[in-house]
Copies of this chain bind each other. A is one copy, B any other.
Amino acid sequence: GSVLVLNSGSSSLKYQLVNPVGGEAIAKGTIERIGESSGIVTHKFAGNTTRREQPVADHGAALEVALGLFEEIGPRLSEAGIYAVGHRVVQGGELFSGPVIVDDEALEKMESLVPLAPLHNPANIQGIRVARQLLGDVPHVAVFDTAFFQDLPPEAYTYAIDRDVADRYAVRRYGAHGTSHQYVAGKIARVLGRRVQDLNSIVLHLGNGASVSAVKGGVPIETSMGLTPLEGLVMGTRSGDVDPAVVFHLARNAGMSIDEIDDLLNKRSGLKGLAGENDMRELHRMVDEGDPDANLAFSVYVHRIKKYIGAYAALLGRVDVIAFTAGIGENDALTRTAVIDGLEPFGIAIDEDRNEARSDDPRIISPEWTKTLVMVVPTMEELAIARQCVEAVETART
């Protein structure tokens, strides 16, 4: 059977029907602008893309639209045979260190974590609720973005704040993008024919959201996202690291409310805040045209990544692999060059021919002479979620 993977955002639903054995996406689609006057629906199957504009009232309606497209355009879900539905959930707190089969108790636990992820978890939970109603006869599995990082050591997940306050309000580093970091770390080992236990890797997930992890022998020892996905690298619209006193300063001097500053740092910062543009391809075009803001944005972006590479190298002691993944990491040779530039003294370099060769496969882009391999490893979060679903269901059955 196949697994239907759902990713419910606040105003979008992404779905993918995955063959967890072969690994291919059988069909996939997105429904955007849920709740707005006109929604955008895209469905891809058998090489064809269907695109429609139609109002989509809520997540329930969105899922109905998706199920309708499977019937209308294909593949028929009854024929494809759905083995399980997998749900991506951003925040699993300390309650979930792996995938879980959704029942009322699990949903209650997820509800209890909403204060930790007010921007994300409510939509994730909403997506699970409607999917259980419409697809009631298969197991639903929640896969948490934070689960992989529940293995972080205390010195990495502990913030240096008052312990009572931290305990009472569950303030610690949870990380995010865990499914991607875990998948890429495992994939590196398979590609190299090595055991994951023997490899130290730095994984750079550079998409609209961006994060970096240090994985030592398969176990994460540090990651850049924190209590929320705001901390760390410069992202499309998120600031990443700033002095926390920036919040106090703006509250006092700009008269901004907490919600306004939250909105500023999450949605109007990052590349977009610096250059007015959060799409990396567009940013490069602006740099080419001599736009100084775009130029600064790119150098701030790269500077931050370099710092994290160095920081995590110091923690790992020995770095076997630096892996680039996600939209920018997989596709943007310019970013990869700029990030690695200057690291030659540490035995880290890029071979420009390898870097520029286009491919969808995992590949090495460093020259022969370096000890640290630089790689591009396409992430497959949906496949990873699908496989975790199968594992969870099989474990539950035995």
Residues of A within 8 A of B (CB): 115-116, 118, 154-156, 158-163, 165, 168-169, 171, 173, 222, 225-228, 230-231, 234, 238-254, 258, 261-262, 264-265, 268-271, 273-274, 293, 296-297, 299-304, 306-315, 317-318, 342-346
Which of B115, B239, B308, B317 is in CB contact (< 8 Å) with A244? B239
Per assembly, the copies of the chain total 2
Instruction: Give the shortest distance, in Å, between A334 (CB) and chain B (any CB).
Output: 16
Q: Which residues of B contact A243 (CB under 8 A)?
A: 159, 173, 225-228, 230-231
- Indicate if the CB atoms of B314 and A270 lie closer than 8 Å: no
Residues of B within 8 A of A231 (CB): 242-245
* A325 and B154 alpha carbons, distance in the complex (Å): 27
Smallest CB–CB gap between A275 and chain B, Å? 8
Q: Which residues of B contact A293 (CB under 8 A)?
A: 163
> Provided the pairs A264-B165, A300-B155, A307-B314 are in contact, do residues A160 and B246 lie with their beta carbons within 8 angstroms?
no
A254 to chain B, nearest CB (A): 5
Contacts of A251 in B (CB 8 A): 258
User: 10 closest Cβ contacts across the A-B interface?
Assistant: A310-B314, A226-B243, A231-B243, A307-B311, A155-B303, A228-B245, A162-B273, A310-B310, A155-B299, A160-B234
Residue of B nearest to A154 (CB): B296
- Is the pair A169, B265 in contact by a Cβ cutoff of 8 Å? no
Residue pair B270, A160 in contact (C-beta under 8 Å): yes
A268 and B162 in contact (CB under 8 A), knowing A230-B244, A315-B306? yes
Q: Cβ of A346: which chain B residues have Cβ within 8 Å of it?
A: 313-314, 346
Residues of B within 8 A of A273 (CB): 160-163
A271: B residues at CB distance < 8 A? 160
Across the two chains, which residue of chain B brings its CB closest to A344?
A: B317
Give the Cβ gap from A111 to chain B, nearest Cβ, in Å: 15
Q: Which residues on B sit within 8 Å (CB–CB) of A253?
A: 115, 169
Instruction: Give complex CA distance A297, B245 in Å.
Output: 22
Residues of B within 8 Å of A344, CB to CB, are 317
Task: Give Cα distance in the complex from A346 to B231, angstroms.
Answer: 28
| Contacting residues, chain B, for A261 (C-beta < 8 A) | 248
Query: Which of B115, B222, B239, B247 is the one whose CB lies under 8 Å from A160?
Result: B239
Chain B's closest residue to A298 (CB) is B155
Beyond A264-B165, A310-B315, A318-B345, whether A227 also contacts B241 by CB under 8 A is: no
